[in-house]
Amino acid sequence: MTTHTWFITGSSRGFGRSLATAALAAGDRVVATARKPEQLDDLVVQYGDRVFPVALDVTDAAAAESAFSAAQERFGRVDVVVNNAGYANIAPVETADEADFRRQFDTNFWGIYNVSKAALPILRRQEGGIVIQFSSIGGRVGGTPGLGSYQAAKFAVDGLTRVLAAETAPMGVRYLVVEPGGFATDWAGASMEIGAVPEGYQATVGAMADMLRSGTSQIGDPDRAAEILVRIVKADTLPTHLLLGGYPVQAALDYSRSQIDEVTAWQAVSASADQGAQYPVDLPPSK
């Protein structure tokens, strides 16, 4: 079985930690990045020189380039890049602190942009590689009250990744967007801050904050998800998008069906905007 070298952001906890451990357990090598790489000391003790901890703040483009240079110097190549680092805070868009909204976007979108861009020269020279972008089911269906910055970033990540896939396909670079549901990590725990929720938003943002903090939706197993991703890489069966969890599958199916129904209902109206097309046409009846 081929030995891969992984470059994983946010490796100190959550999905990143589970994925680093799963890759190492499968015999691979891991460049494990984190803001505080000393939090990875136990992995070094267990796996020795197959794990290479590197300090990285993904919002720092120069640091991302330096991290890849160090990875290449240490292991000679990078086969799998995993953009996992990210977090979310909750607040209504109307009243959210703008600086916090921007900081979240800096990590959740620009961090992925920085790391993806820094990886490309290496992957191009190698004439191949895999980039795994962590999104969420919210990055496909959206509409989660209180997560305006987080979900906007995840939609942007999907758009960026589709363009990257088209641009670099002749170079052998492939992409997988991972879309998890609720998992048993600290994403909705210590990592999440809940801003002030005005009275008018209690039924939407407040209710969502209460549900996330209760942990009732965090039923996914991050270790099992990590093993699935390692198996996919090892088997070389790469989808463009991978939903993780039963709820995301049902939510995605429902959303796709509703999109098809809406496009079909408005098809004649949409087509009538073309020059030479029949115009005007009747609007669909209101529901």
Instruction: Name the pTM for this structure.
Output: 0.95
What is the tens place of the pLDDT at every residue in 45-60?
A: 999 999 999 999 999 9
Share of the chain above pLDDT 70, in %: 99
pLDDT-derived band at 251, boundaries 50, 70, 90: very high
The full length of the chain comes to 287
- Whether the CB-CB separation of 110 and 51 falls below 8 Å is answered with no
Residue 12 designated active-site = no
Protein fold of 5-244: Rossmann fold (3.40.50)
> Taking 90 as the threshold, does the pLDDT of residue 191 lie above it?
no
- Whether the CB-CB separation of 175 and 133 falls below 8 Å is answered with yes
Marked catalytic residue, from 11, 18, 135, 149: 135
What is the tens place of the pLDDT at every residue in 237-250?
A: 999 999 999 999 99
What one-letter code names the amino acid at 174?
Answer: R
pLDDT-derived band at 188, boundaries 50, 70, 90: low
> Taking 80 as the threshold, does the pLDDT of residue 135 lie above it?
yes
> Taking 80 as the threshold, does the pLDDT of residue 1 lie above it?
no
Residue 135 designated active-site = yes
Residue 36 designated active-site = no
Nearest partner of 96 among 87, 86, 106, 88, judged by Cα: 88
pLDDT-derived band at 139, boundaries 50, 70, 90: very high
Q: Which residue has the tokens 């390692």?
A: 230
- Whether the CB-CB separation of 212 and 153 falls below 8 Å is answered with no
Question: Of 7-11, 215-219, 247-251, which range is least confident?
Answer: 215-219
Mean pLDDT of the chain: 95
Q: How far apart are CA 28 and CA 22, in angstroms?
A: 9
Marked catalytic residue, from 18, 47, 136, 154: 154
Marked catalytic residue, from 113, 150, 175, 201: 150
> What one-character-per-residue DSSP string does 27-58 give?
T-EEEEEESSGGGGHHHHHHHGGGEEEEE--T
Tokens matching residue 285: 């009846």
